[in-house]
């Protein structure tokens, strides 16, 4: 990371100069400080990537400086230096968040190498943090509707328990998001989350996939393989499309749930596992039981806590928030300028039937973003990417009755609906940006003063 900004803190001017010159030649930006307070002032005022910090300073102990510096800039990488180093000092520095500890006199080559390693570590941490943030955005459950709030409340209740969960709902409603939310909020959150699509694995391979196999147990088994249950040990296994699992495999799953043991294919002895099982299906398992396609005893083992994920057409008030969310993700992934929908687009989206649920909505948003150059996506752009036959029927229904007579859409004039959508969008964007009005105004492409007026008009405040 050349061009990184480094801060050297030492009360000896000759050390400051002897370190500054070679670091400047390496392409780093260098700041210096003779005292602890001067160092803290620099860290308060500038974005410092790495600090070389002496322990012995004339005003404040270097370890105290490190502690205060970390409070100001938690991501700061610090390398502590001392001419009177000992193990206790090194341990204290490490506990306070120091990347490493060096004893004086300093070896310049070692200093340069350590700085390079520290900055690479910082970059890796930033990348991991960005990845985690992207993952959280990807698997976030979006919505303010009563149905979604009830869903989130049930997730919150069941997550803290060890109980098995059976998630049901149509395809594309977000059953995996629910499973991940349960895992993330459970005591097992630091353990693995392993997903298995039971419908995608051939029957002759699913036993090996779930339980693993020993070398030579069948043709092609050239080495030992751990199965999904072993990989999920001390974590959560998500059995998606459990209704498509064969009856022989169901019997083996039932044994795992009963005994907490698995048998690798070709294995000589059982292996104990500690796994929470969450299953999901779009099928009616009670009907499948009547057809002899699903074991009744397995159903009762899995269905300890049932969770139903509503279809998108039953929570239409969430569609604008979801559409904005997917558009934001698309712009971020493609590194394009932020874009938004106008209210005519929301009206069309809310009146569409969404047979593919949230998955289809995301595809439609991405398709509209790809096929149009406009920064604002309106009715024309959305209508052009919706399936034509369904679009025509939706348009006719909208023409006959602009607002559908169901519980998920509020009756009222077009103006009232538009105002309702606008309020929800402003409120959700403020929440997503921790109520930073300037950032929210920038995302919504509004003047800050204009946004304040709209917040006042709609009675939006942080207490909501």
CATH of the domain at 277: 3.40.50.300
Tokens of 322: 């979801």
User: Does 295 share its domain with 358?
Assistant: no
Q: Which string of b and e fits 71-90 if b means at least 16 CB within 10 Å? A: eebeebbbbbbbeebeeebb
User: Does 50 share its domain with 93?
Assistant: yes
Predicted local distance difference test score (pLDDT) of residue 258? 92
Residue 87's H or E segment, with its range, is helix 87-95
User: Does 343 share its domain with 358?
Assistant: yes
Choose one of 76, 107, 135: the last residue of a domain.
Answer: 135
- Cβ atoms of 341 and 320 within 8 Å: the answer is yes
User: Does 377 share its domain with 413?
Assistant: yes
Q: What is the CB neighbour count within 10 angstroms for residue 143?
A: 23
User: Does 240 share its domain with 269?
Assistant: yes
Q: What is d(CA 165, CA 163) in angstroms, rounded to the nearest whole number?
A: 6
User: Does 442 share its domain with 327?
Assistant: yes
How far is the CA of 150 from the CAs of 105, 141, 155, in angstroms? 63, 12, 9
Predicted local distance difference test score (pLDDT) of residue 139? 79
Predicted local distance difference test score (pLDDT) of residue 433? 80
463 assigned to some structural domain: no
What is the DSSP secondary structure assignment for residue 310, as one 8-state letter? Answer: P
Number of structural domains found in the chain? 3
- Give the structural domain span for 153: 146-310
User: Does 423 share its domain with 353?
Assistant: yes
464 assigned to some structural domain: no
User: Does 321 share its domain with 445?
Assistant: yes
Q: What is d(CA 334, CA 137) in angstroms, rounded to the nearest whole number?
A: 15
User: Does 152 share its domain with 297?
Assistant: yes
282 assigned to some structural domain: yes
**pTM for the structure as a whole:** 0.63
User: Does 169 share its domain with 191?
Assistant: yes
266 assigned to some structural domain: yes
How far is the CA of 298 from the CAs of 22, 97, 164, 360, in angstroms? 69, 49, 12, 32
349 assigned to some structural domain: yes
User: Does 318 share its domain with 306?
Assistant: no
Choose one of 79, 101, 135: the last residue of a domain.
Answer: 135
196 assigned to some structural domain: yes
- The one-digit pLDDT tens for each residue of the chain (464 residues) are 567 899 999 988 989 999 999 999 988 999 999 999 999 999 988 889 999 999 889 888 889 999 999 899 888 899 999 877 677 888 888 888 899 988 888 888 999 999 999 998 888 877 676 565 656 667 789 998 999 999 999 999 999 999 999 999 999 999 999 999 999 999 999 999 999 999 888 888 888 999 999 888 888 888 888 999 999 999 999 999 999 999 999 999 999 999 999 989 888 889 999 999 999 999 999 999 999 999 999 999 999 999 999 999 999 999 999 999 999 989 988 888 888 898 888 888 998 999 999 999 999 999 999 988 888 998 888 988 988 534 444 444 444 333 333 433 344 455 566 677 778 888 878 887 888 888 888 777 778 888 888 888 888 887 64
140 assigned to some structural domain: no
Q: What is d(CA 351, CA 391) in angstroms, rounded to the nearest whole number?
A: 9
228 assigned to some structural domain: yes
- Cβ atoms of 195 and 247 within 8 Å: the answer is no
Q: What is d(CA 178, CA 152) in angstroms, rounded to the nearest whole number?
A: 9
Half-sphere exposure of 197 (CA within 13 A, CB side): 5
Beta bridge partners of 51: 7, 78
Choose one of 284, 310, 336: the last residue of a domain.
Answer: 310
Q: What is d(CA 67, CA 88) in angstroms, rounded to the nearest whole number?
A: 16
User: Does 390 share its domain with 416?
Assistant: yes
Q: Which CATH number characterizes residue 59's domain?
A: 3.40.50.2300
């Amino acid at each position: 990371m050349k061009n990184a900004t480094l801060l050297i803190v030492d009360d000896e001017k000759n050390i400051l100069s002897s370190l500054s010159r070679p670091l400047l030649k390496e392409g780093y930006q260098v700041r210096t400080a003779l005292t602890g307070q001067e160092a803290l002032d620099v860290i308060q005022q500038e974005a410092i990537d790495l600090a070389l910090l002496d322990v012995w300073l004339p005003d404040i102990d270097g370890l105290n400086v490190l502690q205060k510096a970390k409070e100001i800039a938690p991501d700061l990488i610090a390398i502590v230096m001392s001419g009177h180093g000992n193990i206790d000092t090194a341990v204290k520095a490490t506990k306070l968040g120091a990347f490493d500890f060096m004893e004086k006199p300093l070896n310049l080559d070692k200093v340069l190498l350590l700085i390079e390693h520290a900055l690479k570590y910082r970059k890796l941490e930033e990348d991991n943090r960005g990845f985690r943030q992207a993952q959280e955005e990807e698997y976030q459950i979006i919505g303010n509707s009563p149905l979604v709030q009830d869903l989130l409340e049930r997730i919150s209740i069941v997550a803290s328990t060890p109980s098995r969960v059976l998630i049901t709902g149509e395809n594309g409603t977000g059953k995996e998001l629910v499973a991940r939310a349960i895992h993330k909020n459970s005591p097992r959150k630091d353990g693995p989350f392993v997903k298995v699509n039971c419908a995608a694995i051939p029957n002759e391979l699913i036993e090996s996939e779930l339980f693993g196999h020993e070398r030579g147990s069948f043709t092609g088994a050239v080495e030992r393989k751990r199965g999904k249950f072993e990989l999920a040990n001390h974590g959560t296994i998500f059995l998606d499309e459990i209704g498509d699992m064969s009856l022989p495999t169901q019997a083996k799953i039932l044994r795992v749930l009963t005994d907490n043991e698995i048998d690798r294919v070709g294995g000589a002895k059982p292996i104990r596992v500690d796994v929470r099982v969450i299953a999901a299906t779009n099928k009616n398992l009670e009907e499948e039981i009547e057809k002899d396609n699903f074991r009744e005893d397995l159903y009762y083992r899995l269905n300890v806590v049932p969770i139903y994920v509503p279809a998108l057409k039953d929570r239409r008030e969430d569609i604008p928030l979801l559409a904005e969310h997917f558009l934001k993700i698309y712009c971020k992934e493609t590194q394009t300028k932020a874009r938004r929908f106008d209210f005519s687009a929301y009206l069309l989206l809310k009146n569409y039937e969404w047979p593919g649920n949230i998955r289809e909505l995301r595809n439609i948003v991405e398709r509209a973003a790809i096929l149009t150059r406009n920064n604002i996506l309106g009715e024309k752009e959305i209508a052009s990417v919706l399936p034509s036959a369904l679009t025509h029927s939706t348009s006719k229904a909208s023409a006959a009755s602009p607002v559908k007579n169901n519980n998920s859409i509020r009756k009222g004039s077009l103006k009232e609906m538009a105002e309702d959508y606008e309020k929800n969008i402003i409120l959700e964007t403020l929440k997503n940006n921790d109520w930073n009005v300037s950032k929210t105004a920038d995302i919504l492409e509004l003047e800050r003063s204009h946004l304040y007026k709209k917040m006042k008009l709609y009675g939006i405040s942080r207490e909501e």
